[in-house]
Structure 1
Amino acid sequence: MQFKQYGLISVITLLVILFSVTAPNFLTTDNLLSVVSGMAIVTIVAIGITFSLSVDGFDLSVGSTVTLSNAVIISLFVWHGMNIGLSIAIALAVSLLVAFINIILIIKFKVPDLYATLATMFIVEGVALTYSEGGSISQGMTRQNGVATTGKIPDAFKALSEPVPLIIAMLTVVFITYILLHRTNPGRIMYMIGDNKQAVQFGGINTTKYIIISYLASAFFACLGGILLASQVSSAQVNSGAGYLMTAVAAAFIGATVSKSGKPNIIGTFLGALLIAILENGLVMLSVPYYGLNIIKGFVLAGALIINYAQFKQRRLNRVTYHSEVPVAQQSI
């Protein structure tokens, strides 16, 4: 067993042992259920980021998309009295518009992914804040124009935030996306694009189509995360999705250390989210101040990046060594 493949599982195991000794209630059924259900939204949002990373992209707009979808679906319940199905459909449609903005910037105007999605992040944050009239949206509120709201958040929608439905939703997403990204030709092509886009284009494959799919998937899962968040808190708060960006990015990059090649992957992302959830829960049980958690998460992410980029440098060195030693005629085979 190589550490770079199984190190993440080892760290998770060590954390569980450590917290079970130092925090007596850590291994209780209720707490473990809280840990697993509490990581559901982060995992789903991080899986969306994993799709964008698979094509060598990076979607920074997912946190804003979570905020926007949260605001839209709660407003449709409270302000307009819509049913669950129509509200979810509209929230999804609005969230996919975010993906189209990213796609236009990246593909049409050739703006690098990082800069394009950074711009989109600010745009969507502003849109969500403006739409929510600069404040929170909750049942029974009075809008800024003085109009009282009469719509109610359906009990069936609130039930989505129960631990069992959250866990089922998370595991379903993990299973389906694992099959799509790791066991189908489109998924393999997305990874090929991430490795060498030009080579894939020379092979006659339409790379644009797969890049579009990756950003649509990223927005879709961010929207799903926003919907589950809305169910959980039964309101829409200003910038409610901002806190999920850093954690989801950390989960995706930490998860990349599971792969031999250092690539982002679904199982790794799930384990990365689990590591962060265990770390946060255990530290809170040890009475570590909440404002110190980001410091620790930052160090964990930094460690994952060091491991990941060390793997990248080694792979590049191996390729250079291979091409310098193998005869030209054999390299062309």
Structure 2
Amino acid sequence: MQLIFKYGTSFFLVLLCIVFSWLTLTPQDAFDASAAQRIANQINQTTEVSPSETTVLIAVRDNEAERSYAALLEKELKAQGIEQITTATTAREGRQLLSQLQAENRALQAVAATQATGSWLLFADLAADYPLHQHAKILVTSSRLWPNFLKYKNVSNVLNQISVIAIIAIGMTFVIIAGGIDLSVGSLIAFCSVITALLIRDYGGGVEASTLWLLIACGVGIGACGVIGAFSGGMVVGLDIPPFIVTLAMMLVASGLAFICSNGYAIPEVPETFTWLGRGAAIKIGMFGGSAIEIPNAVCLTLVLYVIAHIVMSRTVLGRYVYAVGDNRQAAWLSGVPVKRVLMFTYILSGLLAGVGGVVLSSTFRSGEPTFGIMYELYVIAAVVVGGTSLTGGRGTVVGTLIGALLIGVINNGMNLLHVTAYWQKVILGLVILGAVLLDRLARSVPQTSSRMRQQESPNSETNGPNKPASDSATKNA
């Protein structure tokens, strides 16, 4: 039972991945080098003219995977001596190429198509519309069963989409483990994005801003969020105001400041290089299924932050202090733990990481907007709670939070692939959060029940057992 409570979220995440993989299992085109070589060999074997006289039309759609496949196929064809190769990425372009070849009296020997382009109508009546090409062989790529859910692009999108929530959830994990809550993180995203974009536009040169100015603007925006986090922590620690009330008030303040600074409009005057963090991918591993395997920069940043946070929480004195404060604040104070400083640290960290999330989101959309971050605080808290962190404090891990963020991302992505409406997605996500809280309650109640049962089974020293001698007072009365 304890194993289920401890690893239940991980088991559920794996189960969801299996279910979504099975439900999205569809035939997929093979776009790797072996598929290109196989089609090139078929073209060479089926044509009746020499390779130097062979004309081939490659029909693919305009996306990265199929363009990469077309380049591989063209390379294979040229290696076999076939030089007359044209490529069409739309049916209209294909029709123009066929008409041009017919006008030049150049017969087409083969069409290399995908499962999708092979069904274009211009190939259905090729003999009637283009008599010169009536003997052209239409060769379609082979297909294999593979889940849409596990396609590289989809997995990469899931990881990239949850990066902002996952980053902010680190700070929220510290706050909740210490026994607090921070509702201001969603508004801090918008506040940081507006401050950063505003500095770039008004002082850094706008679209011509240098990398140094981008770093300065991002640092100021993140620092401003840290100041707001410090203010929230000071109110909680110094005036003993409930964190729910303080952070709710700061959520409204930060949101209002974002609208005031931007006059309610987006600020898109930032350079193209600003998108490096949100859209870029500096690490490239190789090829898979015709697509280049790239790790988005936002995902790399998220992983680095989680490694650091895990080390802090599990290997340092500060991490033990955070757990101690959340478990029993009075006992921690009596033990010499600097309770107030620990609480201040958690709120400052939460504000800073909310600022980092705001920079990532601004980089993704190449804009600073006061409407960023709406409802993000609830998704962040959901990721933390689903990951096993107790809302009462003193228990949780940053690894669990990462799993919780992945779980939310997988649920949203899987339901989108299955065309579930947004209304039902909210219902399902709410039920998942409720289930996570229920598991937390059960996890805390089972050890207490077992402890009470052991106490009842053991001899009770405070009551007279059947063989216990009478007390001194009873003896004197006798």
Which residue identity does 2:255 align to in structure 1?
E
Matching of residue 93 in structure 1 with residue 223 in structure 2? yes
Q: 1:270 to 1:135 in 2, by over 3 A?
A: same
**Long gaps (5+) in structure 2:** 26-147, 281-294, 463-478
2:409 corresponds to = 277
CA distance in 1, matches of 2:253, 2:452: 42
2:86 corresponds to = none
CA distance in 1, matches of 2:389, 2:4: 9
1:21-75 residue CA offsets vs partner (Å, 9 max, x unmatched): 2123111111111111221111001111001012111111111111111111112
Name the one with the larger helix percent. 1
SS in 1 for 2:387: helix
1:8 corresponds to = 9
Q: 1:241 to 1:279 in 2, by over 3 A?
A: same
Asked if the contact 1:8/1:257 (under 8 Å) is kept, the reply is: no
Matching of residue 155 in structure 1 with residue 265 in structure 2? no
Aligned with residue 154 of structure 2, among 31, 39, 56? 31
Asked if the contact 2:272/2:366 (under 8 Å) is kept, the reply is: no
SS in 1 for 2:352: helix
Q: 1:316 to 1:242 in 2, by over 3 A?
A: farther
1:78 corresponds to = 201
Asked if the contact 1:257/1:304 (under 8 Å) is kept, the reply is: no
Q: 1:174 to 1:288 in 2, by over 3 A?
A: same
Shift of residue 292, structure 1, vs aligned partner = 3.2
Aligned with residue 234 of structure 2, among 83, 90, 104? 104
Asked if the contact 2:389/2:397 (under 8 Å) is kept, the reply is: no
Asked if the contact 1:253/1:269 (under 8 Å) is kept, the reply is: yes
* Mapping for residues 299-314 of structure 1, pairs under 5 Å: 299-314=431-446
Return the index of the structure with the highest Cα Rg: 2
Q: Which range is displaced more, 229-238 or 168-177?
A: 229-238
Shift of residue 266, structure 1, vs aligned partner = 0.3
Shift of residue 303, structure 1, vs aligned partner = 0.6
Q: 1:102 to 1:257 in 2, by over 3 A?
A: closer
1:221 corresponds to = 353
Q: Which range is displaced more, 77-86 or 172-181?
A: 77-86
Bigger RCO (CA 8 Å, 6+ sep): 1
CA distance in 2, matches of 1:315, 1:127: 47
CA distance in 1, matches of 2:461, 2:443: 26
The normalised TM-score by structure 2 is 0.62
The normalised TM-score by structure 1 is 0.88
CA distance in 2, matches of 1:111, 1:237: 31
CA distance in 2, matches of 1:257, 1:193: 14
Matching of residue 20 in structure 1 with residue 21 in structure 2? yes
Q: 1:93 to 1:257 in 2, by over 3 A?
A: closer
CA distance in 2, matches of 1:212, 1:126: 24
1:104-146 residue CA offsets vs partner (Å, 9 max, x unmatched): 210121101111111111111111111111222222xxxxxxx
2:398 corresponds to = 266
CA distance in 2, matches of 1:113, 1:40: 26
SS in 1 for 2:296: helix
Matching of residue 131 in structure 1 with residue 261 in structure 2? yes
* Mapping for residues 198-277 of structure 1, pairs under 5 Å: 198-256=330-388, 263-277=395-409
Shift of residue 262, structure 1, vs aligned partner = 8.2
CA distance in 2, matches of 1:307, 1:14: 17
1:142 corresponds to = none
Shift of residue 164, structure 1, vs aligned partner = 1.8
Q: 1:322 to 1:236 in 2, by over 3 A?
A: farther
Q: Which range is displaced more, 191-200 or 286-295?
A: 286-295
Which residue identity does 2:178 align to in structure 1?
V
Q: CA RMSD in A?
A: 2.3
Shift of residue 15, structure 1, vs aligned partner = 1.0
Shift of residue 327, structure 1, vs aligned partner = 6.9
Q: 1:51 to 1:322 in 2, by over 3 A?
A: farther
CA distance in 2, matches of 1:178, 1:319: 31
CA distance in 1, matches of 2:359, 2:347: 18
SS in 2 for 1:137: coil
Which residue identity does 1:54 align to in structure 2?
I
Name the one with the larger strand percent. 2
